Amino acid sequence: MTERLGIVVSGSLNKGVEVRLDSSASIEDMAVGRFVTIEGEKRRFFGMITDVSLGMTDQRLSLTPPDVSDPFIAEVLAGTSTFGMLHVSPNLVIGGDATAILEGPQPVKTIPSHFSAVKLSTQEDVELVFGTEDEKRFFIGNPLDMEVKLCLNLEELVKRSNGIFGKSGTGKTFLTRILLIGMLQKSQAVNLVFDMHNEYGWAGTREGGPPVKGLKQLFQSRVAVFTLDEENSRHRGVSTDGVVRIGYDEIEPDDIALLRQTLNLTDLAVEAVHQLFRKFGKNWIQDTLDLKGAEELPEGLNIHEGTLLNLQRGLATIRRLPFIEPHSPVNAVKAILEHLDRGINVVLEFGRYRDITAYVLVANMLSRRIYDQYQSRVEKADAAAKESLKPRPLVITIEEAHKFLNPEVAGQTIFGKIAREMRKYNVTLLVIDQRPSGIDSEVMSQMGTKITCLLDNDRDIDSVLAGVSGRNELKSVLAKLAAKQQALIFGHAVPMPVAFQPREYGSAQSYRDFAPQKDAEEAIEKLWD
């Protein structure tokens, strides 16, 4: 039988409802973020506990507390003179008439009547709201304090850009792996992951434990690992599918503009880049570094000596990156696109080159060129009125997202453009960051689904929840999440906000649950080849 918690005693549509706990329900068992069901006269409401408080019928009890050392007195007072209160934010409602029941849960436009019973939600309630795992829905974890599968709609997820947030050490990487696996299993999209810390390709780290399997080990035939650092990959025993090299002649002014902060370039130096590119063409970096001073500048270039020195110092930093060459013999964009076109997901590992300059440069360069290819293909398909000519939907995953999407550069980067266009050319983002307040507010507002672990900075919390209905209640839930293995999800991929515990990742059983049978059989066959 479903456990009854109490009854509705007051509330409003904007602020939520107040629930008085029954004497049989212990306030100490109540937790912010729990999923509850309210049985109204005509409708069932689904919501989340957003606050827990204590109440009393006589305020004099707070001034002169009774002697509760006598168990009888304590029992008499509990549930009568003193009681527990819950604040519940209803999000969805079902019922009213036969048509409404068939349509399923809908956003709330009213509230339950006085004295409506409030119960802990059952497995059936969760499945009614979030659905069961099928070809579109993916099991991501369990609602807090419930052993029930929480599913999100992967089809809706990949329609827009999404974000995973949380302070360092809260489990963002594990959540990202789980979400990427869900897209591998259930969606038609392919992924391009810029793996700054080598966590998603062959293997990843686990705090205080052995390494965990990466996407390549679980999905042998459907994941390709590219690397910027072939030597590091060999040292870690990772078999790669391609090595990425970047040529000087591939770097354009917009790539340098994005690195203004990390290279300590002045605004005048960034402006000079465009002049030098127009004058020297594709070899502008080498030609600029060869200049001995401003007096050697070609006629028509008005660049101050100090500006030129500032730019040369920045470009010298780029030239020292081991994967940068005068001219790359392999077209990295073409190689990656060939894999994506075949439905093979690509993880680009950075090896030892975890400097933010290398990460921002490579991620922006490759993404811009891949996006240009997608834009061209989609426009040709639209012109020919042939949907089959369009490329597979692509999800680009980036870490340290505030470096690409802060207000100063979001308008210049390809990532800001992708976020604002909302899958116009079949490309979306999955951004991972511990400082969401550093991301441009317009970009944040375009994200369809957000999954956030614990954040302890008010600006970060406000940034994640900006524009969300019931943000004050969700702020309370977010502030009370555990430091690890708990998160709040809200947006287009779920019908209502819910706090949950991500599913287990790293055990032999979890690998069997994640890896498809076909890939497992192929991996066994390879052992005997």
Do 84 and 115 share a domain, yes or no? yes
Are 175 and 295 in a shared domain? no
Number of independent structural domains in the chain: 3
Question: Is 386 within a domain?
Answer: yes
Please check whether residues 437 and 477 belong to one and the same domain: yes
Global confidence as pTM: 0.88
Query: Has residue 470 been placed in a domain?
Result: yes
* pLDDT, greater one: 205 or 451: 451
Specify the DSSP class assigned to residue 136.
Answer: S
pLDDT of 67 over the 70 cut: no
Residue 160: CATH number of its domain: 3.40.50.300
- Say if residue 240 is in the same domain as residue 288: no
Q: How far does the chain reach from its first CA to its final CA, in angstroms?
A: 56
According to DSSP, the residues that pair with 164 across neighbouring strands are 432, 451
Do the bridges between strand 4-12 and strand 16-21 make them parallel or antiparallel, or are there none, so unpaired? Answer: antiparallel
Residue 313 structural domain: 248-319
The answer to whether residue 208 sits within a structural domain is: yes
Q: Are residues 213 and 230 in the same domain?
A: yes
* Angle ∠(85,86,89) on CA atoms, nearest 5: 150
Q: Could you tell me if 468 and 359 lie in one domain?
A: yes
Domain boundary among 266, 293, 319: 319
Q: Which amino acid is at 185?
A: Q
CA 430 to chain centre: 5
| 447 shares its domain with 472 | yes
Contact (CB, 8 A) for 444 and 464:
yes
Q: Do 224 and 345 touch, CB atoms closer than 8 A?
A: yes
Among 121, 142, 167, identify where a domain stops. 121
For 22-58, list the strands marked E by DSSP.
35-39, 43-56
Q: Is 488 domain-assigned? A: yes
Segment among 58-72, 372-386, 388-402 with least mean pLDDT: 58-72
Residue 206 sits in the same domain as residue 253: no
Both 259 and 340 in one domain: the answer is no
Whether 446 is in a domain gets the answer yes
Q: What is the dihedral of CA 376, 377, 378, 381, to 10 degrees?
A: 120
Could you give the residue ranges of the DSSP H alpha helices within 47-117? 60-63, 71-77, 98-103
Domain boundary (298, 319, 340) is at 319
Q: In angstroms, rounded to a whole number, what is the distance separating the alpha carbons of residues 272 and 290?
A: 16
Same domain, 194 and 267: no
Are 454 and 355 contained in the same domain? yes
Express each pLDDT in 179-227 by its tens digit: 999 999 887 899 999 999 999 998 988 887 788 999 999 998 899 999 9
Question: Does one domain contain both 364 and 397?
Answer: yes
State pLDDT tens for residues 235-268.
Answer: 988 889 999 999 888 888 888 888 888 899 999 9
Quote the pLDDT of residue 427.
94
* Mean pLDDT, residues 386-394 taken together: 88
Q: What is the pLDDT of residue 420?
A: 87
- Stated as kind and residue range, the H or E segment containing 460 is helix 458-465
Tell me whether residue 137 is in a domain. Answer: no
- Beta-strand ranges (E) seen in 455-497 are 487-491
Task: Flag whether 131 is in a domain.
Answer: no
> For helices 356-384 and 305-319, what crossing angle results, to 10°?
90
In this predicted structure, the answer to whether residue 477 has a pLDDT above a threshold of 50 is yes
Q: Does 324 reside within a domain?
A: no
- Tell me how far apart the alpha carbons of residues 478 and 454 are, in angstroms, rounded to a whole number: 6
State mean pLDDT over 9-15: 93
